[in-house]
Amino acid sequence: MEKFKIRDYIQGVLESDRRMLAKTITLVESSLPDDQEWSRRILDELMPHTGRALRVGITGLPGAGKSTFIESFGTLLTQNEHRVAVLAVDPSSPKTDGSILADKTRMEKLAVNDRAFIRPSPSGKTLGGVARKTRETMLLCEAAGFDIVMIETVGVGQSEVTVASMVDFFMVLMIAGGGDELQGIKKGVLELADLVAINKADGDNIERAKQAQRQYEMAFHLLSSPSRNWTPPVVTCSSITGAGLDNILKNIQEHREKLTQSGEFQKKRQEQNKEWFRFLVREGVQEWFYASPAGTMMPELIEAVGNGAMTPTTAALKILDRLKGSTF
């Protein structure tokens, strides 16, 4: 990888140089020790220039039209003088940990928009399909002057929880379909939502979308809201016609205003930073452990526990005894 001076990366990001922003993100995503050290120093320098963007998470079941929605909504935002960064979290190849889906081909119009920046992220090994460095990438985009950062999750498993823990506003995208509308999404995901949007409300599907909207509104009465100062609305929209997109933007802006006035917005950001710190410590300790002599004992002990040759308690004590006196 072409290497510049640390000051080149920092200056390039602050000047909104797309080429240098992309190279800085690549540096941050690298697992090489030297690159990680450079990344830390770059992020430390850029931190005073972060935190001013609105962070929006978007999830939804496969087929909900997330990419089309993000392209249409992102275009609307740029028309309203916003600068938009899209971090699209893709499924990864099990062999290369590389992105399978090409986000810039899924969002062709937004990809060539001067006020937008799209960055596919390989999911790697992080729980929930969210790239380990998504948070750092988000900060780099903020330092580069993007005032709205959207993070798209693959919409399966634990990824929604992970994305919700790093954004200000979490949106769940749904579509009207046959049968029970509530079967396709987990209760826990709806409890994270600041807004549910029924997409593809166009043509012959408008009435079905309105019916789904009523069903979700009834469901929300049984769920707890993620905020005491906000009642999550259920709205309909169309990524094709643009109907309802203005209303979604209005809700996002109103949500920020209400939470800012109550002090909840800043408190949420502080809690997210604390959780980020705890996550990094847990991940670092785990990596250290599995590379240590005690960690190398794990496969054999797991096999013994599975075969019933050793109790879990005894196996755990062997690991802990081996760790005594170890240095990090």
Could you tell me the pLDDT band of residue 219, with boundaries at 50, 70 and 90? Answer: confident
**Higher confidence at residue 103 or residue 271?**
271
The highest-confidence range among 51-60, 114-123, 148-157, by mean pLDDT, is 51-60
Give the span between the Cα atoms of 316 and 82, in whole angstroms: 53
For the stretch 2-46, pLDDT in tens is 568 999 999 999 999 999 999 999 998 888 889 989 999 999 999
Lowest mean per-residue pLDDT among 15-19, 21-25, 151-155, 256-260: 151-155
Give the span between the Cα atoms of 51 and 28, in whole angstroms: 18
How many residues make up the chain in this entry?
A: 328
Instruction: List the domain boundaries for the chain.
Output: 1-48, 50-262, 274-323
CATH T-level topology, domain 1-48 = 1.20.5
What pLDDT sits at residue 107? Answer: 82
**Higher confidence at residue 44 or residue 280?**
44
Mean pLDDT, to the nearest integer, of 167-185? Answer: 73
Mark residue 155 as left, alpha or beta (left: phi above 0; alpha: psi -120 to 50; beta: remaining). left
Written as one string, the DSSP assignment of 17-62 is -HHHHHHHHHHHH---HHHHHHHHHHHHHHGGG-S-SEEEEEEE-T
For the stretch 109-135, pLDDT in tens is 898 999 999 987 655 555 533 556 788
Q: Which CATH class is domain 50-262?
A: alpha beta
Residues 6+ apart with CB under 8 A from 165: 272, 275
Count CB-CB contacts under 10 A for residue 291.
Answer: 10
pLDDT at 179 over 50: no
Lowest mean per-residue pLDDT among 55-59, 223-227, 300-304: 223-227
Give the span between the Cα atoms of 92 and 151, in whole angstroms: 16
Q: How does the average pLDDT of the chain come out, rounded?
A: 86
Could you tell me the pLDDT band of residue 96, with boundaries at 50, 70 and 90? Answer: very low
Q: Which helix (H) or strand (E) holds 319?
A: helix 312-323
Of 56, 72, 93, 87, nearest in space to 202 by CA: 72
pLDDT at 154 over 70: no
Three-state DSSP at 321 gives: helix
Q: What is the pTM of this model?
A: 0.87
